[in-house]
């Protein structure tokens, strides 16, 4: 009887350890997925822009604003071999429903222009203007506790994701060369 009790206790301890490992793995995977999705999205959009149209706002909140040749439907337009510039985009950190997130907003460029590329006009060169803009932000990635873009050549993206307890934290860096 004592042997059966001991065996049951060992099985219970094994199951508890397996459940802890599973929960740890799930949290780690969710944070890593969010971090990589956010970094990929920013890198792709910035990569289609031009150095001259990129504004890094150190914040708070930190963010990056730039002009993109993508139209609102996702297509691009080429005139005489040169991209037309349609949208201004801002990526920045914000708190949505109590959760730190990387968000983005977009708006049209004041006029559709052909290179030379347009600069981001005031007041849209500062993140607070984007926060006050009526359109609600779209969440790119959740649990992003730090987001910075360093204005170097190439641009340096840095993001940190962590869980609410601070027990799990992941950091990713990416270098981006705008092509247009």
pLDDT tens digits along 69-90: 888 887 887 778 777 888 899 9
pTM: 0.84
Mean pLDDT of 115-129: 82
Helix, coil or strand: residue 115: coil
The region of weakest confidence among 5-14, 33-42, 167-176 is 5-14
Where does residue 33 fall: left (phi above 0), alpha (psi -120 to 50 degrees), or beta otherwise?
A: alpha
Report domain extents, the chain. Answer: 2-176
Helix, coil or strand: residue 90: strand
* pLDDT confidence tier of residue 52, bands split at 50, 70 and 90: confident
pLDDT tens digits along 132-150: 888 899 999 999 999 999 9
Token couple for 175: 């270098």
Q: In sequence order, what are the beta bridge partners of 103?
A: 92, 139
Q: Which residue has the higher pLDDT, 20 or 90?
A: 90
92 pLDDT more than 90: yes
Number of H helices and E strands in the chain, helices first, is 2, 10
59 pLDDT more than 90: no
Distance from C-alpha of 74 to C-alpha of 33, rounded to nearest angstrom: 24
| 3-state SS record for 128-152 | HHHHHCCCCCEEEEECEEEEEEECC
């Amino acid at each position: 009887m004592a042997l059966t009790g001991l065996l049951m206790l060992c099985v219970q301890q094994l199951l508890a350890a397996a459940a802890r490992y599973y929960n740890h793995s799930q949290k780690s995977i969710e944070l890593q997925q969010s971090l990589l999705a956010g970094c990929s999205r920013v890198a792709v959009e910035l990569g289609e822009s031009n150095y001259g149209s990129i504004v890094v706002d150190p914040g708070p909140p930190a963010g990056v604003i730039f002009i993109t040749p993508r139209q609102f439907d996702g297509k691009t337009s080429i005139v005489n071999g040169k991209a037309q510039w349609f949208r201004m985009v801002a990526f920045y950190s914000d708190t949505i429903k109590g959760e730190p997130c990387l968000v983005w907003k977009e708006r049209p460029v004041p006029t559709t222009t052909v290179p030379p590329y347009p600069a981001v006009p005031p007041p849209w060169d500062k993140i607070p203007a984007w926060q006050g803009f009526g359109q609600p932000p779209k969440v790119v990635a959740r649990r992003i506790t730090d987001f910075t873009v360093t204005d170097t050549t190439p641009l340096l993206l840095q993001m940190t994701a962590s869980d609410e307890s601070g027990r799990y934290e992941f950091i990713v860096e990416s270098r981006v060369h705008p092509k247009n």
